[in-house]
Structure 1
Amino acid sequence: MLLTADRVVTASQDLRPAWLRVTDGRVEALGQGETPVRADEHVAGVVVPGFVDVHCHGAVGADFAGADEAGVRAAAAFHWRAGTTSVVASVATAPLDLMERQVARLGGLVADRVVAAVHVEGRFLSPLRKGAHDERLLVPPDRADLDRLLAAGPVAMVTLAPELPGGLDAVRRLHDAGVVAALGHSDADAATATAAVDAGARSVTHLFNGMVPFSHRAPALPGVALTDDRLTLELVVDGQHLDPLAVTMALRAAGDRAVLVSDAMSATGQPDGRYDLAGNEVEVVDGVPRVVSTGSLAGSTTPVAGGLRRLVLDHGLGLQQALAAVTSRPAALLGLEGVGDLGLGTHADLVVLDPHELTVLRVMRGGEWL
């Protein structure tokens, strides 16, 4: 298949006009100018790589922490159609045996590219910063528990609170295993956060949310996140998790280390109502999910395409810079191969955006239009 487009944009290229050859579901060639032979189709809109979401809990009523295979496939397919062609399934807090079984179930779907990898966000979190997680199930990191989860399936990232007993040892264990240790749902001060980075932590889960607020006298984890170049920062830019000024501050301090994540929960793509997340009852009103008992935000219902649009239209980022936060950078964080770009041999995962509003018009995944 040979496609032409008025514009193809990646994190590293902006080609106008451009052409793309797809063979056996992968990119065979990408070029600028006239096509070598007659094209099969002209794509109206801006063609960009498929998005990569490294923190996603589900959609259409299915929670990756407990959904069966059919539910996982349905939730993943929803996000594909929204432009997120690579979905990392996030498993929230649950009893250990259930988490272990679910990691194994999700692992069986990685080979088929239903999900790209597994992110464990649960159990090893601070009760003081629990968010939507069930406090009764939160425990300090235990080597045996952690090893069970890592052995169950392709875990690419684990969120934990480093200040808990055994927290720094857990970070070292993850680093040695080639798994990204992400700091989040944490009451850590700046010294502890820095010690965790020294031990191998490389990411911060939904910056500013689920952690001690920044203070000029006690900068805590957010201060370390904004100033330590070793850390990648997750931002949930859904209009709820972060004030626009907080987004601007994060981008100015560490924009080249930011990745957009959805933190999307099971109500994504569903009407308002009551849902469950990590053992807590959640009520969704006007698309905003909150824990019924505490009022805490319980994830989001906005795919990362919404965040990309806000970065460009509301915060003035160039499209290439914004795309890095949803394509190449999250892929690099977790070592996901063949996604997040349109280079030779990558999966033919394409999103066609409206050139003005940046809404998703069409999606190709593995060489097939969805």
Structure 2
Amino acid sequence: MEQTRVQVAQAIAQSFNEQPRPWAIRNARRVDARGVLEHCWIVADGDTIVATGTSDDELERAIEHYGVGERLTDAYGMIMTPGYVDIHAHGSWGKSFDDGAEGIMIARAGHMVHGTTRQVLSLITNPINTMCENLRNVHEAMAQRPDVLGSHLEGPFLALSRKGAHDPQCLRDPTPDLVNALLEAADGSLRQITIAPELPHGLDAIHRFSEAGVAPAVGHCDADYATAQRAFDAGATLMTHMFNAMNGLAHRAPGPIPAAVEDPRVSIELINDGFHVQNPMVELSFGFAPGRIAFVTDAMAATDCPDGNYQLGALDVVVENGHARLVSNGAIAGSTLVLERAVQRAVQVLGISETAAVAAATLVPAKALGLDKPNAITNQPLGLIAPGYAADVLLLDPAQWQVEHVWCAGRPMK
């Protein structure tokens, strides 16, 4: 089994060295953030969607014009969505994104086969030198494959009281020298960073990272409502996995969550696995922050693996019934979720609209990082099935919302 997964990962990595050719899909039920469109088709000239529609005659003309030839897939009524975008995940298939080039290759494959075509690689709290090295590894991976969007530092600038599964010996105040060291190591590849704004240099660091083009995220914090407001005014535009590792909602101590909810500049991460956040709170979230809920997985190395013993950084983790906890104190240690399952749960368990559920895994996370429009990271925008957008496309079984076929940057992955 392990060898098979390595081979799958190697094949996916190799596919990015091949030039994509024109291709098309017909007879699909398109679902994206704009709504549902029946009997839809798309044509891609390689890595970019160039035409969409519902007319069979127009499809035939587009197929001939772009030279699709035999590279036409009949969806037979399957659901077609944009590729899923995960902006907060740590690994899968027994590997972490902190594990160097091979770890990145294997862990990315574990999410790709479940429809996550683009991913920000989250790095766990470690000694600063180790975190800098891991940032450099992600920067190198970005140069080799378009599915890696960059890195997310979940630490080391976290509150000790809300550290979760992060090593307390490695937590730091974000002093200017440390901020500069991480930015230098990332060399433009750092997409977001989680910061507790109440730390002595927290607000200054948020401003500095924002000025450098990084999206600061409020999380793993003990911040009150007013401090969270100041953090968003200083440049924070994300909330890291809302409800987890932060003050909860209280009528006399509202905490950071209402500050994020009421601020239209802020995108809000949510782990929809039924464990990190119970169903009523997921439903409530879509009600009070419509169009700003971004599904994330916070997935660790045990994702898509059997229960057992694993590592999260230098810490021992045990996974039972798919739930990961630290051996030392029982703290939740990430998840074993994939975005495929998050969307399935939203639609089939919670009754959230198909449009909103798909948007939470596609356009909303892309927009949170400015990737919903032409940009220097992906070239084409992400998050919609529309001309000019990246040819990241999924075909799903309409009964189970299970991912059956995957295209990333125009290359078939599954």
Q: Which residue of 1 aligns with 2:303?
A: 268
Alignment of 1:358-369 (within 5 A): 358-369=401-412
Report the Cα distance in structure 2 between the residues aligned to 1:169 and 1:366, rounded to whole angstroms. Answer: 37
1:324 and 2:348 aligned: no
What is the CA-CA distance between 1:46 and the residue it aligns to?
A: 0.6
Report the Cα distance in structure 2 between the residues aligned to 1:32 and 1:52, rounded to whole angstroms. Answer: 26
Q: Which residue of 1 aligns with 2:173?
A: 140
What is the CA-CA distance between 1:114 and the residue it aligns to?
A: 4.2
What is the CA-CA distance between 1:345 and the residue it aligns to?
A: 3.2
Report the Cα distance in structure 2 between the residues aligned to 1:223 and 1:41, rounded to whole angstroms. Answer: 46
1:128 and 2:171 aligned: no
Alignment of 1:1-370 (within 5 A): 1-34=23-56, 35-37=59-61, 40-44=72-76, 45-65=78-98, 67-111=99-143, 112-153=145-186, 154-336=189-371, 337=378, 338=380, 339-370=382-413
- The Cα offsets for residues 127-184 of structure 1, whole Å up to 9 and x where unpaired, read as 1000000011101111111111112220010101000110000111011112101000
Q: Determine if contact 2:268/2:294 at 8 Å carries over to the other structure.
A: yes
Count of matched residue positions in the alignment of Structure 1 and Structure 2? 369
Deviates more, 1:343-352 or 1:170-179: 343-352
- The Cα offsets for residues 266-306 of structure 1, whole Å up to 9 and x where unpaired, read as 11121111111133211000111011112111111010111
What is the CA-CA distance between 1:341 and the residue it aligns to?
A: 2.0
What is the CA-CA distance between 1:25 and the residue it aligns to?
A: 2.6
Structure 1's 144 and 328: CA in aligned 2 closer, same or farther, altered over 3 A? same
Report the Cα distance in structure 2 between the residues aligned to 1:232 and 1:367, rounded to whole angstroms. Answer: 28
Q: Structure 2 length as normaliser, TM-score?
A: 0.86
Deviates more, 1:321-330 or 1:127-136: 321-330
Unaligned runs of 5+ in 1: none
Report the Cα distance in structure 2 between the residues aligned to 1:248 and 1:194, rounded to whole angstroms. Answer: 24
Deviates more, 1:304-313 or 1:36-45: 36-45
Q: Determine if contact 1:312/1:318 at 8 Å carries over to the other structure.
A: yes
Fraction of identical pairs, as percent: 37
Report the Cα distance in structure 1 between the residues aligned to 2:367 and 2:82, rounded to whole angstroms. Answer: 14
Report the Cα distance in structure 1 between the residues aligned to 2:360 and 2:317, rounded to whole angstroms. Answer: 29
- Give the SS at the match of 2:260: helix
Q: Determine if contact 1:125/1:139 at 8 Å carries over to the other structure.
A: yes
Deviates more, 1:47-56 or 1:292-301: 292-301
Q: Determine if contact 1:160/1:185 at 8 Å carries over to the other structure.
A: yes
Q: Determine if contact 2:156/2:172 at 8 Å carries over to the other structure.
A: yes
- Give the SS at the match of 1:90: strand
What is the CA-CA distance between 1:13 and the residue it aligns to?
A: 4.4
Q: Determine if contact 1:16/1:33 at 8 Å carries over to the other structure.
A: no
Report the Cα distance in structure 2 between the residues aligned to 1:251 and 1:227, rounded to whole angstroms. Answer: 13
Unaligned runs of 5+ in 2: 1-22, 64-69, 372-377
Amino acid in the other structure paired with 1:93: T
Deviates more, 1:104-113 or 1:129-138: 104-113
Q: Determine if contact 1:126/1:164 at 8 Å carries over to the other structure.
A: yes
Q: Determine if contact 1:269/1:301 at 8 Å carries over to the other structure.
A: yes
Q: Structure 1 length as normaliser, TM-score?
A: 0.96
Report the Cα distance in structure 2 between the residues aligned to 1:280 and 1:194, rounded to whole angstroms. Answer: 33
